[in-house]
Amino acid sequence: MLSHVRLETYMRRAAMLGREGVETPPFVCLFSPNDPLRFFNYAKPLEPVGAEPDGLNESLATLRQAFRTRQRVPRFEFIEEFAPDLGPALVAAGFSLEDRYPLLVCTPETLRQMPPIDGLTITTLTPDSPVDDLLACLAVQQQGFGEMAGDPPTLADVDDLRANLACEGAFLARMAGVPAGAMMYTAPFDGLTELVGGTTLEAYRRRGIGAAMIAAAAADAFGRSVEIVLLTAASEHASGVFQRAGFWWYGTSLAYAEES
């Protein structure tokens, strides 16, 4: 059954793959071992908390120390409907709302086929894909997200992606043979997966490429016995693109941070 608890539990478990997990109950801190970029390092609630802000003081002190020891910015990411009292409690404790993102979901019944686009090809990447394809996927993401994505990809990043594709999904869109977009989904389990890392290069935006990649990635995931595909949209415009592919709004993802 679809619920905010099920989605938050999946997102927490998926985020723990490849990250160092440090429990500071009622939270778990998730640290990227190699990348200090703030978006790869954050805490999530293990249960709905926050109704009594003072009760979190000791846990938050331990959490702050865990982040600062690793030279990371103390951050939280969670579904608002899962822990509706946590946001106000974090603000009271000195955190600031970083952003609100629409949380959308899709099922095999709601997924829509996108009309064909002249010149567009979408390649499903696998552990056996050529280095050039894997590197192009990572390069598109780095260019599409800019500073948010960190440094340009290296061959070590290609090796990491190749290893991850044993359980995750990745897709490279080309227009007339030129890399134009990329999309990934996280390791499926418990019937769920999350679309992540989706971007289209500036020169190719507003042509329907994003919706085509979303539909292709979701269809591939449903072919692996996934029941629900979820994602967080970076903006209302992006949300509209996802809705054209058959996604609908189900909640709100929140991000809070405490700057030094």
Same domain assignment for residues 65 and 186: no
Same domain assignment for residues 154 and 205: yes
pLDDT at 149: 54
pLDDT at 120: 97
Same domain assignment for residues 157 and 227: yes
pLDDT at 247: 95
Same domain assignment for residues 162 and 243: yes
Same domain assignment for residues 237 and 128: yes
Amino acid, single-letter form, for residue 32: S
Place of tokens 């609908």: 248
- The Cβ of residue 64 has, within 10 Å, a number of other Cβ atoms equal to 17
Does 245 map to a domain? yes
**260 residues of the chain, pLDDT tens digit each:** 899 999 999 999 999 988 999 999 999 999 998 888 888 999 999 999 988 867 899 999 999 999 999 999 999 999 999 999 999 999 999 999 999 999 999 999 999 988 999 999 999 999 999 999 999 999 999 998 875 556 788 999 999 999 999 999 999 999 999 999 999 999 999 999 999 999 999 999 989 999 999 999 999 999 999 999 999 987 777 777 788 889 999 999 999 999 87
Same domain assignment for residues 79 and 134: no
How far are the Cα atoms of 15, 50, 55, 92, 95 from residue 181, in angstroms, in the given order? 23, 39, 45, 40, 34
Does 258 map to a domain? no
**How does DSSP assign 40-104, residue by residue?**
G-EEEESS---SSGGGGHHHHHHHHHHHHHTT---EEEEETTTSTTHHHHHHHTT-EEEEEEEEE
CA dist 151 and 25 (Å) reads: 33
Spatial CA neighbour of 254 closest among 18, 80, 28? 80
| Total domains present in the chain | 2
pLDDT at 150: 65
Same domain assignment for residues 75 and 32: yes
Range of the domain at 36: 4-94
Same domain assignment for residues 165 and 215: yes
Same domain assignment for residues 207 and 128: yes
Same domain assignment for residues 22 and 70: yes
Same domain assignment for residues 86 and 42: yes
